[in-house]
Amino acid sequence: MAQTVAALDISSLEAELASQSPQKILERSLSLFDNIAISFSGAEDVVLIDMAHRLNKAVKVFSLDTGRLHPETYQFIDRVRKHYGIAIDIMFPDPAQVEEMVTAKGLFSFYEDGHNECCGIRKVAPLRRKLSTLDAWITGQRQDQNPATRGKVPVVQVDSAFSSGDRALVKFNPLSNWTSADVWMYIRSYEVPYNSLHDRGFVSIGCEPCTKAILPNQHEREGRWWWEDATKKECGLHAINQPQ
């Protein structure tokens, strides 16, 4: 049965779910909301899609196409679509905004003045447009992905960054307490599709100009926006994690 955010006690729900398995958290989120979707881009997200599929839960899935993804990522998205027989809603940036930025600053301005403007146009604006149509969303965030920004990510929260006016948006992070090893154990155990770039040393995968393979024992976020400080390595999709 569909719920409204106002009818939920988020603190109590967080306390209830904090020690539950990702499957239980996912199942609870899908039971609470009809108008809910999984945000899909990487290994963690496809694990959530696989879990929902095994729970026999029909779930909406969306992905952001920035126009700068690796060819392997586009192939991965389509492989997931076919593997699970699901529709994936692809969100695109506003062409006029992209054109204006690139005309004024070139294709690689983020190397000089930071990634926030480019990510804001190519990622955050399309995400905001999508989230404005939902009551809740599900992400694959893990606390150990970036201790500087995600170290305290709860399994459920009100996403104040994308809530508006009297409309609150709920955000579920079922894999919050999982590690990268947990994710990959699941992928191997259930033969879940994954991005072929992972076989070439890429761990955290974003846009092609802002992603690189990492060396053994490097933290996964060292392969993202490597020219910036670790506390800034968020693109705005999870702005609620940033220190205010």
Active-site amino acid positions? 235
Count CB-CB contacts under 10 A for residue 200: 9
- In order, the DSSP letters of 51-110 are HHHHTT---EEEEE--S-B-HHHHHHHHHHHHHHT--EEEE---HHHHHHHHHHH-TTTH
Contact 109/101 with Cβ under 8 angstroms? yes
CA 109, chain centre distance (Å): 24
What tokens were used for 92? Answer: 């695109």
Query: Residues 148, 187, 46, 55: what is their CA dihedral angle, to the nearest 10 degrees?
Result: -120
Query: What burial letters (b/e) apply to 3-16, b meaning 16+ CB within 10 Å?
Result: eebeebeeeebeee
β partners of residue 136: 36, 170
